[in-house]
Structure 1
Amino acid sequence: MKYSARLALALCFMCCTLLWGCSGKKSSEVDHSGPPRDNTPQVLTPSADGTVVFDNDYASIDASNQSQGYIMVSYSGSCEKVKVQITGPDQNTYTYLLTARNEYTTFPLSSGNGTYLIQVMENVGGDSYVVSLTHDVDVQIENEFLPFLYPNQYVDFHADSQAVAKGSELAANTWSDLEVVQNIYNFVIKNISYDTEKATSVSYGYIPNVDDTLTSGTGICFDYAALMAAMLRSQNIPTKLEVGYSGDTYHAWISTYIDETGWVDNIIEFDGHDWQIMDPTLAASNDSESVKKYVGDGSHYVVKYSY
């Protein structure tokens, strides 16, 4: 994802995470008669099992767990700039920088079931790349939510992550997923400040580090969304990190799945009775009425990628 200085700056002022006002049912309306939900972290761990592998002397695509909603790619060549392109059955192409060497990186299969074209591409100068490895992978995902429960390159966490521990803490003494979303959302918008300096200097290929964001208490839109997504996924709440446009500005937010409601898309809030569009990064930097006015009916937001 390419952030120019101006776009990144505007982006971070416009994307304060994602669930502004996602207050869920009011506490008086939630049934607390039974035991609270289990807040034990449920962290799924990707693995390159080696049962379905396409490789050559430079790269390897491990599709052993395509049914879990992800593939893993490793590069062992000498090229400094390497990209992975994944084109799904919807013909939407996702392009990633592959920065790790001689180890596998996880990429989600975000477009559901069907045939995916996986390409590993090496830079040969300027903006020119050549394909060093390519293969089609037929995908049948066991559960539609799996791509948005596993960690991946952009939503990267593990059982020992600070973000996972914090998510579990925030999910304690709650009786519904909606309350968990509310607690995590409120924590992030109150405790993570927008990093203007970072926004003006962040480079192409930037990858969020959720524990760094939590520790520093600062971040840009991408960081806000990745941190919330990691916390929610580790509580077994399917969450998409979405990237697209807010007006003319490149922006990141999340959508999450609530059993009673389904996918809460387009940056939403719940006021206790109705779902409304909302934007968390905005929520961290602006008053609620200003955010509501900008967000409006959601027409300012266009999703391009879901991770």
Structure 2
Amino acid sequence: MPRPNLKTVQNALLWLLILAWALLLAGCSKSASSQNNNSSHNAGVSTSPPAVARPNDPVVLVPSADGVEVYSAAAASIDASNKSQGYIMVNYFGSNPKVKLQITTPDNMKYTYTLHGDWEVFPLTGGSGTYQCNVFENVSGTDYAYALSQTITAEITDEFLPFLYPNQYVNFSASSRTVAKGAELAKGAANDLEVVDAVYEYVIRHTTYDYEKADTVQSGYLPNVDEILASGTGICFDYSAVMTTMLRTQGIPTRLDVGWAGDIYHAWISVYITDIGWIDGIIEFDGSGWHRMDPTFASNEKQSKSIMKFIADDSNYNIKYVY
């Protein structure tokens, strides 16, 4: 067998060295590129899309007495044209200074309102079913007589509608400053819970409890949400009405609850959040549990552990009426 030519062997070895060097350079280049990519990722560069803010334009539902289904007597009328929307309207046009409306819900809860004249809105908070609506005029002292009595059967198209419309206790319109403030607070929020939190924090930080008003308030008192917002003072009913106005006009079904907090007659709110359900009197999550959304107590005793413990205990609250 002939021996290989020395020059041929040297050339082959030279080409092998060149090829090995080229492969080494390619590997280093790829490794450096990979390392750079990993460094960029580890430096905190996120590929996740940023959270998109929810729309914050106010949605103000406007109740109306359309005259399609009306029941009248000498001094009063009930317009049930929009009962499917979760409300009726009542107009007292007589001369009696003391007039009451009593609405009995399908589950036999009795709601009593003071009528002030002109059309006023009243929610059908008992859901679909039969309601008994009675207008009473004062005769003398605490005695009242029927001015109008009517049974109304309602099939409400959306169970949340009574908690989105304005009514006698939560009265607002598209021009209300409280509605505009709610939209301002909702700006930039990613979801409804963030809106609720923003509204809650604003109200408890910018409203102080009016003890004098609480001691002198008269039966039949109705909150004026814009006046409360401007003054920065109010009673529990006022706090709750302001928050309810802001949240309803952001499309968040909100109940104004009235009942007993311990042995105190009190008002607070509950909200409905899609994919969560009704959050009954609860507002914020601290990582381990929800805290009750009671703007009056939270405002006065924000740093008090005892009052916050009371607020967080469902057994301390007993709802009597929902508006």
- Unpaired runs of 5+ residues, structure 1, are 1-30
1:297 positional shift: 2.5
Map of 2:292 onto structure 1: 277
- Going from structure 1 to structure 2, the CA distance change for 1:239 and 1:32 (only over 3 Å counts) comes to farther
Structure number, greater radius of gyration = 2
Structure 1 residues 66-85: Cα deviation after superposition (integer angstroms, max 9, x where no partner): 00000000011111000000
Match of 1:70 among 72, 87, 90: 87
Counterpart of 1:187?
A: 202
2:197–2:283 contact (8 Å) kept in structure 1: no
Q: For residue 246 of structure 2, give the secondary structure of its aligned residue in structure 1.
A: helix
CA distance in 1, matches of 2:102, 2:57: 35
1:272: Cα distance to partner?
Answer: 4.0
Out of 129, 139, 159, the position equivalent to 1:114 is: 129
Q: Mean alpha-carbon deviation: is it higher for 268-277 or for 149-158?
A: 268-277
Corresponding letter in the other structure for 1:209: N
Give, in angstroms, the shift of residue 242 of structure 1.
0.4
- Between the two proteins, what is the percent identity of the paired residues? 56
Counterpart among 108, 131, 135 of residue 91 in structure 1: 108
- Give runs of aligned pairs for residues 261-272 of structure 1, distance below 5 A: 261-272=276-287
Cα shift at 1:204: 0.8
Match of 1:28 in 2: none
Tell me the residue number matched to 2:167: 152
Instruction: Give aligned pairs, total.
Output: 275
- Bigger relative contact order (CA 8 A; separation at least 6): 1
Q: How far off is 1:280 after superposition? A: 2.0
Q: What TM-score comes out, normalization by structure 2 length?
A: 0.83
The correspondence of residues 223-302 of structure 1 with structure 2, limited to 5 A, is 223-272=238-287, 274-286=289-301, 287-302=303-318
Match status 1:222 vs 2:237: yes
1:61 Cα deviation (Å)?
A: 0.2
CA 288–262 in structure 1, closer or farther in 2 if over 3 Å, else same: farther
Q: For 1:173, what is the secondary structure of its paired residue?
A: coil
Q: 2:176 aligns with which of 161, 169, 181?
A: 161
- Structure 2 counterpart of 1:56: 73
- Aligned-residue offset at 1:46: 0.3
Q: Which runs of 5+ in 2 are unaligned?
A: 1-47
- Structure with the bigger percentage of helix: 2
- Alpha-carbon contact 2:290-2:312 (below 8 Å) kept: no
**Matched letter for residue 175 of structure 1:** A
Q: TM-score, normalised by structure 1?
A: 0.87
Out of 211, 218, 227, the position equivalent to 1:212 is: 227
Q: CA RMSD in A?
A: 1.4
